[in-house]
Chain A
Amino acid sequence: MLSAIGRASVDELYQHVPRSLRERARIELSNGLTEWTVYRRLASLAAQNVSAADWSIYLGGGIYHHFIPAAVDAIISRAEFSTSYTPYQPEVSQGTLQALFEYQTLICQLTGMEVSNAAVYDGASAAAEAVLMVRRIQPASRRRVLISRALHPQYRAVIATYLKNLVDIRLEEIPFDGTGATDLAVLNERLDDRSMCVLVGYPNFFGVIEDLAPVKSACDRVGAQMISVTTEALALALLKPPGEFAVDIAVGEGQSLGVPMSLGGPAFGFFACQKKFVRHMPGRLVGETVDSEGRRGFVLTLATREQHIRREKATSNICTSQTLCALAATVYMSLLGKSGIRRIAEINLARAHGANRQLIGQGNFSGVFSGPFFNEFVLRGENLVQRVSRCAEEKIMPGVRLEQWYPELRDGLLICVTEMNEREEIDRLVRTIAA
């Protein structure tokens, strides 16, 4: 090859790079390892982590341990899906494009919204992008963003980081009340004609299912937009979807739908809104069309919103997103189907409520919030630290301690129970922690 290009060595190809740079460029890392050595090295690191394969875990807080049918991985492992690029050449990407069209449809059906994009990075950035989108739609006189304190703390942090650079925005936190839901009295008090939008969790970080209807009325009263944020997407199989409350934008985390926990990523953020806002949406959109011979086909569309065309005026800077994870969710939802997704959600509901009653029944724990819940709830107990330690000895992770984000809930434990926690396991949890 070198002779074909008239060079004596590969070195010649970068002689034009300044010598002072070339001389110092050596990468001081150990030599490459064989495949089996790499495997052993990684396996030994993996063994030092507590996984749901070995321990009983009752951890939620935005990432959930759910059953993933074997067929999901079989599909997303196909190289035709995993090693292809963003579908800029639609004629040879109909697989990805049709799957994303189906994904968009499923999210619309799940959320009850009119249009969905092809996914963003995660629930947190989806929430941030939603606020940025509303900022494009609402007039400049409206720049106050009201966020429920019952919304996932990390999501609130990401939203704050994104918005910090836009000096016109003012973020305000609305407290929660004894039911565990956003305090409506305070919300109504703070809403005015300078309010841009309101964000509430559905369900919220405490697992509480908030009634979105009064929040929506409050927003309508002053002309603010409403954004619902769902961290446990499976809840939408049972709960009235955000679309039926006429929210403007519904976002959330899709990890529950067939994506492994994987220390919180990669998964995906879903983003759905009313059709009238479609040209303001961030992220990719897949649309249906026909080819020159009348065959149905799918393409990326409304690309003039995006960075590669609009550059600094784009609706977002997003380019690579989370497509393979959205595909996993599409396969998952197809496998479960209408009846299956309801069935799994009902099992979550049953087991969580059963565990809740058992734990409170033991007498050492009490419920903290009176609001209804799906598969997560907060209990308060004494000697929490010791109890949690005792569980660890039994290879049980009983819940997420809330102290780090809610100092007033120092003794609070956020417990999540899913279809992956068997009845006998739950009995064991109760015995170990509540004694």
Chain B
Amino acid sequence: MEFPEGLKYSKEHEWVLVEGNTATIGITEYAQEELGDIVYVELPEVGEKIVKDDPFGAVESVKAVSDVYAPVSGTVLEINDLLPDNPETINDDSYGDGWMIRVELSDMDDLKDLMDDEEYAEYVAQQKDEDEDEDDEEDEEEEEDKEDKEDKDK
């Protein structure tokens, strides 16, 4: 899994590329993997204001819809016009061609809450561990249960 340097990352799995006063935003490789095949992307309009931690759009797979949360506040300057007709671009190239919006930052302090690539890589590793731990715990419980049941059946 990739975690490009030079990008900032949010807990909701968005990435941010800061250039001067503007930020380009997309969702990370981990996010697109969790979502599966993306079939539709809802984006804000140019000129709209987005608010940090509020949803600014949504990403749809066949059986689910996920809100995309603003990692920073700002005004939308540009949206990726590849995405309406080719939403799968996010699956193919989440950090490059799969960018979603470009905004003018309203408060540079917003960036302080974001993680760098190493912190985010750790964060993702933790998420995966937690999932596995849950699986393991449940498996152990089941093994015990099953043994009990098999005893009863006899």
Q: Indicate, yes or no, whether A interacts with B.
A: yes
Query: A311 to chain B: closest CB distance in Å?
Result: 10
A304 to B60, CA, bound (A): 7
Interface size class of B (residues with CB under 8 A): under 10
Of the 9-residue stretches B17-25, B62-70, B99-107, B141-149, which lies at the interface with chain A?
Answer: B62-70
The distance from the CB of B93 to the nearest CB of chain A, in whole angstroms, is 23
Answer whether residue B40 sits at the interface, using C-beta atoms and an 8 A cutoff: yes
Which of chain B's residues has its CB closest to A308's CB?
B63
> Is there contact, CB below 8 Å, between B40 and A279?
yes
**Binary flags per residue of B33-66, CB closer than 8 Å to A gives 1, else 0:** 0000001100000000000000000001011110
| Distance A117 CA – B141 CA, assembled complex (angstroms) | 47
Q: Report Cα–Cα, A303/B65, bound state, in Å.
A: 10
What is the distance, in angstroms, from A151's C-beta to the closest C-beta of chain B?
34
Could you tell me the distance between the alpha carbons of A279 and B64 in the complex, rounded to whole angstroms?
Answer: 15
Are B63 and A310 in contact, with the CB atoms below 8 A? no
With most chain B CB atoms within 10 A of its CB, the pick from A279, A303, A304, A310 is A304
A301 to B: closest C-beta gap in Å = 8
- Are B64 and A309 in contact, with the CB atoms below 8 A? yes
Main secondary structure of the interface of A (DSSP, over half): helix
Which residue of A is nearest B62, CB measured?
A: A303
Question: Are B63 and A309 within 8 A (Cβ)?
Answer: yes
Residues of A within 8 A of B62 (CB): 303-304
How many angstroms between the C-alpha atoms of A304 and B35 in the bound complex?
13
Q: How many angstroms from the CA of A310 to the CA of B65 in the assembled complex?
A: 7
B39 to chain A, nearest CB (A): 8
Bound-state Cα–Cα, A156 to B78, Å: 44
A5 to B144 CA separation, bound complex (whole angstroms): 21
**A residues in contact with B63, CB < 8 Å:** 303-304, 309
* Residues of A in contact, count (CB < 8 Å): 5
Q: Which residues of B contact A309 (CB under 8 A)?
A: 63-65
User: CB-CB < 8 A to B40: which residues of A?
Assistant: 279, 304
* Shortest distance from the beta carbon of B144 to any chain A beta carbon, whole Å: 21
Q: With A and B bound together, what is the CA distance between A379 and B56 in angstroms? A: 58
Docked CA distance A248–B64 (Å): 28
Most buried by A among B40, B60, B64: B60
Q: What's the Cα separation between A304 and B62 when bound, in Å?
A: 7
- A141 smallest CB distance to B (angstroms): 16
Q: How far is the CA of A157 from the CA of B47 in the complex (A)?
A: 41
B60 closest partner in A (C-beta)? A304
Residues on B with C-beta less than 8 A from A304 are: 39-40, 60, 62-65
B145 CB to nearest A CB, Å: 17
Q: State in angstroms the CA–CA spacing of A267 and B113 once bound together.
A: 57
Which residues of chain A have C-beta atoms less than 8 A from B60's C-beta?
304
The docked-state distance in angstroms from the alpha carbon of A279 to that of B60 is: 12
Residues of A within 8 A of B65 (CB): 304, 309-310
Q: Which residues of chain B come closer than 8 Å to A279, judged between CB atoms?
A: 40
Task: Give B64 Cβ to nearest chain A Cβ, in Å.
Answer: 7
Shortest Cβ distance from B39 into A: residue: A304
- Separation in Å of the A56 CB from the closest CB of chain B? 53
Bound CA–CA A309/B64 (angstroms): 6
Interface 1/0 per residue, A292-310 and B, CB below 8 Å:
0000000000011000011
Cβ of A316 to closest chain B Cβ, rounded Å: 16
For the complex, what is the distance from the CA of A279 to the CA of B39, rounded to whole Å?
Answer: 12
12 sample A-B contacts, Cβ–Cβ < 8 Å, listed by A number: A279-B40, A303-B62, A303-B63, A304-B39, A304-B40, A304-B60, A304-B63, A304-B64, A304-B65, A309-B64, A309-B65, A310-B65
Beyond contacts A279-B40, A304-B40, A304-B65: 11 other A-B pairs, Cβ-Cβ < 8 A, are: A303-B62, A303-B63, A304-B39, A304-B60, A304-B62, A304-B63, A304-B64, A309-B63, A309-B64, A309-B65, A310-B65
